[in-house]
Chains A and B, each alone.
Chain A
Amino acid sequence: MTSAADLTDPAALQAAFRVQGYVAGDALATALRLVPALQKPLLLEGPAGVGKTEAAKTLALALGTRLIRLQCYEGLDAQAALYEWNYARQLLYLRSAEISGGRVDDDELYGERFLMARPLLQAIQQDVAPVLLIDEIDRADDAFEAFLLELLAEWQITVPELGTITARTRPHTILTSNRSRELSDALRRRCLYHWVEYPTARQELEIVQARLPGIDAALARQVTDAVHALRALPLGKPPGVAETLDWAAALLALHRDHLDAASIEATLGAVLKLREDQVLAAPTLRGVAGRAEAG
C-alpha cells in the first residue's frame, strides 16, 4: 500500500496503479496528481467501460484511503446524497416522551443520534482525506448539479437543524460522466478535466495481463486484437475494457488457449451484448478465428 505522498511522483503513481491491475496513461496520471495539488475535483468523461469508475477505486487503493461512492440517478436529491433524519426513531422518541410526560426540544430531536449521514456528508467528516467518487453525474438532474456546486466550491454543507459543517479534510474528488446530458459550464469550471479514451491495443494487452496474470500471452493478444477489430465496426454497443476482461476471463474459465470459431461462439455474449451487433460482427470474427487457427 502506498501513501498519498507518492502523488508527487508520476512514476510511483503509475506503479501503484499497476500493482492494482490498472494501467494509467501519462495524461491520466498527471490529471490525478493535480487533484490534491490544486484541491480541485477531476471530471472524467469517456465512453462506457473505459475505466473511469475503476480509476477512482484504484486511486483509493493506491492511497490506502477510504472510497466513498455516490451513485447518481435521475431524481437523486440532497436528502439521499447528503443526510437524512431517522424519522421513525424520532417519532418513537416523541411518543415515548409524551407518554412519560417529558418535554422534547429541537436540539434533542435533531441531534447527531438521529442523523443518518449520506455519502457527501460522510466524505467531509473524515479525518483522513477519502476518495469521493460521484459516479455518473450526468444521470442526476440540473437541480442536483446546482446543489453540488456549493459543496465543490466551499467544501462545507449547511444542515438547517445543525448549522454549517466544514470539511475536516478535502476529499480527493472524482466525478464521472458518460455525457448523457450536457453538464453546466459552472460545474466544468470547478473541475479539472480528462477524457478517458479506449486504450491502444498495446495498453489493453497490458491491462489484460495485469488483471489476468495466468493468461497465455498469445490468447491475450488475440483477444485484444479482436476487440480492436470489433470497435472499428459501427456497433450499437462497442465493447469496453470491461468486456475485454470478461471475454478473456470467460476463455480462461473454459480452458481455451486460442480464439478459434468454437471458442468465439461459446463466449461471444461476454463481449457483444446486442444481437444485431453479433450478426454485424460475424464476418470480422470469422476472420479473427481464421487468423488465430492459422497462427
Chain B
Amino acid sequence: MTPHPPETLLPAELSAKITAFVIRLRVRHGFLVGPGEAGDALRAAGVVDVLSKRQLRDALRAVLIACPEQARIFDHEFNTFFRAEGSPAPPELPPLLPETEAPGAEQDTETTPKKQQEGEGQAPAPAAPQPGEQPELTPVQAQPQSESKDDPDDSGGDVQTIQTRLSPNAGAGGEVRAEEGELRELLRAATALIRAVELGRSRRLRPLVRGPKLDARRTLRAAARTAGDPALLRWLGRQRRSPRFLLVLDGSRSMGRDAALLLRFAQALSLRTRRVEVYAFSTGLRRLTPYLRQALPGQALTLPDLGEAWGGGTRIGENLLHLTRHERERVNRDTLVLILSDGLDTGEPEVLERALRDLKARAGRVVWLSPLAALPGYQPVQRAIRAALPHIDALLPAGDIDDLHRLGRRIGQRN
C-alpha cells in the first residue's frame, strides 16, 4: 500500500466545530453528508495544515460537496462558520427549501395574449426591502470553486459576499400543491410519453432468446456440458434505447396556472425516469432537477425562491441560448427537448432562432408545448413561435391534463 500522509490529531474544539459544520450543511442546505462524510472531513483536516484556512477549506470542500452547485453554498457557509473572532457575519443564505408559489396560483390566469411583444417583462424598479424583511437572493450561476483567488489565509477568508437585492421578478411565495389524484393522472401521462418516444436500439448487448449476435460466453458454458460441441447456441441483442428528457419550463407571469400544471408534469416525469433534466426560466434560468427529485410524491411540491427564473417577464431566446451554451453536454441524440411556453417573449427572435438551431443540431427531437395552442382558433402568430417553427419538430397543445395524456401519442405519430 502506498504510504499516505500521516494524520494529525485534531484539537477537540476543532473536531467539534467541523462536525457541527457538516451537520449544518446537511440540515440547512440538504447536502447528502452523514457520519461517514463527517469522519472523512475530520481525517481530511488531519492531513492538511489546519492553521492554513485555505487548505482546510479546500480539503473539506473536496470531501463535502458533490456537485458545482454546492460549491457556492459551501464557500459561504465555511466563511461564516470559520470566520475570525469579531469579524462581521456575511448575510445568511436561505435554507434549501423555502417555498415558491407557482405563478397564477393566487392570481387570475392570463391566457389572453398580453401586450404581445413589447413592454411585457419590463421589470419594475426594485423596491427597497422593508426593515426587518429578508432580502431575496439574486440567482447566480453555479460558481465552482476557483483556484485563482489569491486569498491570504488569515485575511478572514475570501468572503464571497452574496449579492442581495429584492428581485422584481420573484414569485409571491407560497406552495405548489399537487393533488394525489392529479399526480396519478400525470404519472400515467408521463409513462405514455416515455413509451411513445422511439429512439432506436441501444449499443449495449443483452442476452436474448433470439438475437443478431452469438453470445460466446453463454454458448461456451453450454458447450462444456456437451463435450465441447456448441450445440446449444445463445444469443445477444440490443434493447430499445431509453430517451432522455430536457424540460425547459417557462415560469413567467403570463403562464399563470399552466406553469404549475407543467411543473407537476415535470415532477411526474422525474418520478418515472431518472433521465430527466428540468430547467425553469423567466428573465433568468434555474435548474430544478434536484428539487423535483427530492420532492415526495403525494405531498405538496415546494421549491426554493427561484428569483428571476419564476414569476417575472419572459426571455426565451437568451435563456435557451444560455442552456445550449452551458449545458450542451446534457443534450445528445437521445434527448427529447420539451419547451413548455406560451411563446409570449420580449427578447429578440434572432437569439431564439440561434438557440433552437443549436438544440436541434444536438438533440434527438425538439417539441414545443404551448398552453395557448390548446385554445380554439389558435394561430401561431407570436414572434417567438414564428421564429421557432422552422427549428422544432412539433408545436403541440398543453392546456390541460388531457393534452398531456395525448402527448405521447402525438409525439409517437411523428416518430
Is the Cβ of B228 less than 8 Å from the Cβ of A182? no
Query: Which stretch from A35-43, A217-225, A260-268, A286-294 is at the chain B interface?
Result: A35-43
CA distance A172 to B48 in the complex (A): 18
Return the chain B residue nearest A29 by Cβ: B58
A1-36 CB mask vs B (1 if < 8 Å, else 0) is: 000110110100000000000000111101101101
Q: Are B47 and A34 in contact (CB under 8 A)?
A: yes
- Cβ contact within 8 Å between B329 and A179: yes
- Determine if A91 and B67 form an interchain contact, defined as CB atoms under 8 angstroms apart: no
CB interface residues, B 206-245, toward A, < 8 Å? 216-217, 220, 223-224, 227-230, 244
On whether the beta carbons of A4 and B148 are closer than 8 Å, the reply is no
Are A75's CB and B332's CB within 8 A? no
| Alpha-carbon distance between A140 and B373 when the two chains are bound, in angstroms | 39
Q: Which of B37-45, B189-197, B306-314 is the interface stretch?
A: B37-45
**Nearest chain B CB to A197 CB, angstrom units:** 5
B3, B32, B327: the one contacting A185 at CB < 8 Å is B32
Report chain A residues within 8 Å CB of B176: none
Q: Is B83 an interface residue (CB 8 A)?
A: no
Which of chain B's residues have a CB closer than 8 A to the CB of A106?
224
**B184 CB within 8 Å of chain A:** no
Also in contact, A98 and B228, with CB within 8 A (given A169-B2, A189-B66): yes
Which of B62, B63, B228, B358 lies at the interface centre, i.e. has the most chain A CB atoms within 10 A of its CB? Answer: B62
Closest to B46 in A: A37
- Is there an interface contact between A27 and B147, defined as CB atoms closer than 8 Å? yes
Contact check: which of B37, B55, B203, B223 meets A30 at CB < 8 Å? B55
**CB proximity of A266 to chain B, nearest CB, Å:** 27
Report the minimum CB–CB distance from A24 to chain B (whole Å): 9
Does A180 touch B at the CB level, under 8 Å? yes
Asked whether A199 is an interface residue with its Cβ less than 8 Å from the other chain, the reply is yes
Q: A142–B144 contact, CB under 8 A?
A: no
B329-A36 in contact (CB<8A): no
Interface of B is mostly: mixed
Contact of A129 among B1, B65, B289, B321 (CB under 8 A): B1
Do residues A189 and B32 form an inter-chain contact, with CB atoms below 8 A?
yes
Q: Which residues of B contact A109 (CB under 8 A)?
A: 224
Q: For residue B229, give the distance in angstroms from its CB to the closest CB of chain A.
A: 8
Q: Are B63 and A34 in contact (CB under 8 A)?
A: yes
* Residue contact A193 to B62, C-beta cutoff 8 Å: yes
Task: Answer whether residue A246 sits at the interface, using C-beta atoms and an 8 A cutoff.
Answer: no
| Chain A residue with the shortest CB-CB distance to B63 | A192
Contacts of B36 in A (CB 8 A): 189
**Complex Cα spacing A87 to B221, Å:** 10
Let me know if A77 is at the binding interface, CB within 8 A.
yes
B26 within 8 A of A: no
CB distance from A195 to the nearest CB of B (A): 3
Interface string of B23-43 (1 = CB under 8 A from A): 000000000100011001001
Q: A234, B144: Cβ atoms under 8 Å?
A: no
Give the contact-size bracket for chain A. 35 or more
- Asked whether A37 lies within 8 Å of B205 as measured between CB atoms, the reply is no
Give the contacting residue for B205; candidates A38, A77, A128, A142; CB below 8 A: A77
B328 CB → nearest A CB, Å: 8
Is the beta-carbon distance between A79 and B217 smaller than 8 angstroms?
yes
Known pairs A27-B147, A85-B220; A34 contacts B67 (CB<8 A): no
CA distance A46 to B326 in the complex (A): 11
In the complex, the answer to whether B4 meets A7 with C-beta atoms within 8 Å is: yes
Which residues 154-207 of B have a CB within 8 angstroms of A? Answer: 202-205
| Chain A residue at smallest Cβ distance from B4 | A36
Whether A195 pairs with B71 at a CB distance below 8 angstroms is yes
Across-interface contacts of A192 in B (CB, < 8 A): 62-63
Residues of A within 8 A of B132 (CB): none
- Cβ of B325 within 8 Å of any chain A Cβ, yes or no, is yes
Which residues of chain B come closer than 8 Å to A26, judged between CB atoms? 54-55, 58, 147
Question: Could you say which residues of chain B place their CB within 8 Å of the CB of A195?
Answer: 68, 71, 144-145
Question: Known contacts A30-B55, A91-B220; is A203 also within 8 Å of B2 by CB?
Answer: no
B7 to A, closest residue via Cβ: A37
Known interface pairs A30-B62, A234-B325; A129-B55 also in contact (CB < 8 Å): no
> A4-B2, A26-B54, A33-B48 are contacts. A189–B7 as well, Cβ < 8 Å?
no
Residues of A near B289 (CB, < 8 A) are 182
A178 on the interface (CB 8 Å rule)?
Answer: yes
Quick one: given A77-B205, A180-B332, A236-B325, are A37 and B224 in contact (CB under 8 Å)? Answer: no
Which residues on A sit within 8 Å (CB–CB) of B274? Answer: 142, 182, 184
Chain A residues, CB < 8 A from B229? 98
Greatest chain B CB density within 10 A among A37, A48, A189 is at A37
Tell me if A141 counts as interface (CB < 8 A to partner B).
yes
Is B59 engaged at the interface, CB distance under 8 Å to the other chain?
Answer: yes
- Candidates B144, B145, B203, B324; contact of A74 at CB < 8 Å: B203
Q: Is A170 an interface residue (CB 8 A)?
A: yes
Q: What chain B residues lie within 8 Å of A181 (beta carbons)?
A: 244, 275, 330
Using a CB-CB cutoff of 8 Å, which residues 240-277 of chain B contact chain A?
244, 274-275, 277
Chain B residues near A179 (CB, 8 Å)? 327, 329-330
Other A-B contacts than A104-B228, A189-B36, 18 sampled, CB-CB below 8 A, are A8-B6, A27-B62, A34-B47, A45-B67, A45-B68, A46-B144, A75-B203, A129-B1, A142-B274, A169-B1, A180-B330, A181-B330, A188-B67, A189-B37, A194-B62, A199-B147, A203-B147, A236-B324
Q: 3 nearest interchain CB pairs?
A: A25-B147, A94-B228, A75-B203
B interface vs A, CB < 8 Å? 1-7, 32, 36-37, 40, 43-44, 47-48, 54-55, 58-59, 61-63, 65-68, 71, 144-148, 202-205, 216-217, 220, 223-224, 227-230, 244, 274-275, 277, 289, 321, 324-325, 327-330, 332, 358
27 interchain pairs, CB-CB under 8 A? A4-B4, A7-B5, A8-B6, A10-B55, A26-B147, A30-B55, A30-B58, A31-B58, A33-B47, A37-B44, A40-B40, A42-B62, A45-B68, A46-B144, A74-B203, A85-B217, A91-B228, A94-B224, A94-B228, A95-B228, A98-B227, A106-B224, A143-B204, A179-B330, A193-B65, A234-B321, A236-B358
